[in-house]
Amino acid sequence: METSEDILNRQMDFHPQFINMGLDRIHRLLEALGRPQDKLPPVIHIAGTNGKGSTSATLKAIFEASGKQVHSFISPHLVHYHERIVLRGKPISESALIDILLECEAANAGQDITHFELTTAAAFLAYSKTPADVLLLEVGLGGRLDSTNVIDHPALSVITPVALDHQQFLGNDIATIAADKSGILKRGSPAVVGPQSDEGLEAIRIEAEKLGVEPAFYGQDWMAFEEHGRMVYQDTKGLLDLPLPSLIGRHQIANAGTAIAAVRALEGTLIEDPHYEEGLKTTTWPARFQRLTGGHLVDLAGNDAELWLDGGHNPHAAAALAEALATLEESSPRPLYLITAMMERKDAAGFLEAFFGLARHVATLAVPGEDSTYSAEDLAAIAVKSGLSARPLPDLETALTDIASREKAPRILICGSLYLAGHALRLNGESVGA
């Protein structure tokens, strides 16, 4: 009997290009499936370069704290494909995933379709068959032409911080990328916009004005900041005095604020202050400045080491990581070592430069199992040009063993790629849930 992995691998061959932006193919398939996108619970559609996942995870925790049933859609997954399609708070079962993949394959009838388009349609089919109170729908890439952008009337659109990433598909400047991500805005639907650069903010404003949409903007309509070890959220409806988010880093205060602003922008949502508090305390999001506290990799690093994991892979994410590490260094000093691997299309120099003056040494790897990866040697050369000490190594386990031989109690960050993060979690024996 075929497994979901067998089916997914076979369906990778239905379209020659891994990424081919456009909506015609998925619209055709959704019509053949009976338009499941029209049978979904209220949709919160989330786009942005960084912070989508953290914002979605915080939203999920807040809604669940209030007793609501939550569907969610993410990409990519870390360990198992099932993580992408969460039904009522749990990853889709193997049998249900097989059923929807085969149903979509039959409906597609051998026509041209990308892998992401087919699996997005499969997710919509699964959500349409299972009742819930809300669907948190993350954009895969960009916004305007992303396969998720087939929801005519979302309950809410959210745009998290926009930065340079995927330029070969979205454009070479932040204004162009922000305009593309603003393609999820819909006339008649409310919207929330997280912190943005000046050029990103202006591009989003222009797109919103074209549609007559008046988003709730960070810094204008709502604010979130740390004060006396607490998180303060404020908007036109009032002020909330809350615990700091469980997710670590100053950037997570803005992400949590975006989630709260989103909830408060929804009409008729019965969320009370204790639900926000419980949501912030219970939010989990693997591979986002996650401390690994046990397992095979922790054993290799040594009992006295700190081992951290983050999937951020662009300069904006690196800056947030570097700030979080600098804050950690102030309270608990340790020598910092990086283990990094990156895909070729990423700005490796921009990413690594953020750690100049922080990292004592960088161990560079190739992304395991990926063809379009920097070689460990090329990435080490880029790190050296960025002013960092670096050495190429064959794999993650060797890198950890090497650092353990150099330093008794280091702080180690595995970073640069979600694919590397997923590989690390698998090696460490972690199972990622919703």
* Gap between the Cα atoms of 188 and 139, Å rounded: 20
Amino acid 15: pLDDT:
64
Band (pLDDT 50/70/90 cuts) for residue 12 is: confident
Q: Give the pLDDT confidence of 89-145 residue by residue, as tens digits.
A: 999 999 999 999 999 999 999 898 998 999 999 999 999 999 999 999 999 888 999
Which domains does the chain show, CATH number per domain? 4-282 (3.40.1190.10), 290-427 (3.90.190.20)
Mean per-residue pLDDT for 165-171? 57
Question: What is the token pair recorded at 282?
Answer: 């219970």
Q: Give the pLDDT confidence of 390-407 residue by residue, as tens digits.
A: 999 999 999 999 999 999
Q: How large is the C-alpha radius of gyration of the chain?
A: 21
- Within 10 A of 342 (CB to CB), how many other CB atoms are there? 26
Read off the DSSP letter of residue 165. Answer: -
Helix axes 4-11, 115-129, angle to 10 degrees: 140
Mean per-residue pLDDT for 9-25? 76
Amino acid 34: pLDDT:
97
Amino acid 165: pLDDT:
61
- Within 10 A of 431 (CB to CB), how many other CB atoms are there? 11
Q: Give the pLDDT confidence of 44-103 residue by residue, as tens digits.
A: 999 999 899 999 999 999 999 999 999 999 988 899 999 999 999 999 999 999 999 999
Q: CA 119 → CA 4, 14, 17, 93, 107, distances in Å?
A: 11, 12, 15, 15, 13
E strand or H helix at 319: helix 315-331
* Gap between the Cα atoms of 256 and 233, Å rounded: 9
Mean per-residue pLDDT for 147-171? 83
Scored b (16 or more CB within 10 A) or e, 283-311 reads bebbbbbbebeebbbbebbbeebbbbbbb
* Gap between the Cα atoms of 102 and 315, Å rounded: 39
Amino acid 257: pLDDT:
98
Amino acid 16: pLDDT:
57
Q: Do residues 254 and 320 touch, judged by C-beta distance below 8 A?
A: no
Q: Give the pLDDT confidence of 169-209 residue by residue, as tens digits.
A: 555 789 999 999 999 999 999 999 999 999 999 999 999 99
Q: Is 158 helix (H, G, I), strand (E, B) or coil?
A: strand
Q: Give the pLDDT confidence of 324-358 residue by residue, as tens digits.
A: 999 999 999 999 999 999 999 899 999 999 999 99
Q: Is the pLDDT of residue 267 over 80?
A: no
Of the candidates 75, 419, 434, 77, which has an alpha carbon nearest to the alpha carbon of residue 283? Answer: 434
Mean pLDDT score of the chain: 93
Read off the DSSP letter of residue 19. Answer: -
Please, what is the Cα angle at 368 between 364 and 374, to 5 degrees? 50
Q: Give the pLDDT confidence of 285-302 residue by residue, as tens digits.
A: 999 999 999 999 999 999
Amino acid 48: pLDDT:
94
Amino acid 13: pLDDT:
76
Band (pLDDT 50/70/90 cuts) for residue 9 is: confident
When comparing pLDDT for 366 and 251, which is higher? 366
| Percentage of the residues of the chain whose pLDDT score is greater than 70 | 96
Amino acid 163: pLDDT:
84
Q: Is the pLDDT of residue 17 over 80?
A: no
Q: Is the pLDDT of residue 434 over 50?
A: no
Read off the DSSP letter of residue 120. Answer: H
Amino acid 167: pLDDT:
57
| Percentage of the residues of the chain whose pLDDT score is greater than 90 | 83
Q: Is the pLDDT of residue 265 over 70?
A: yes
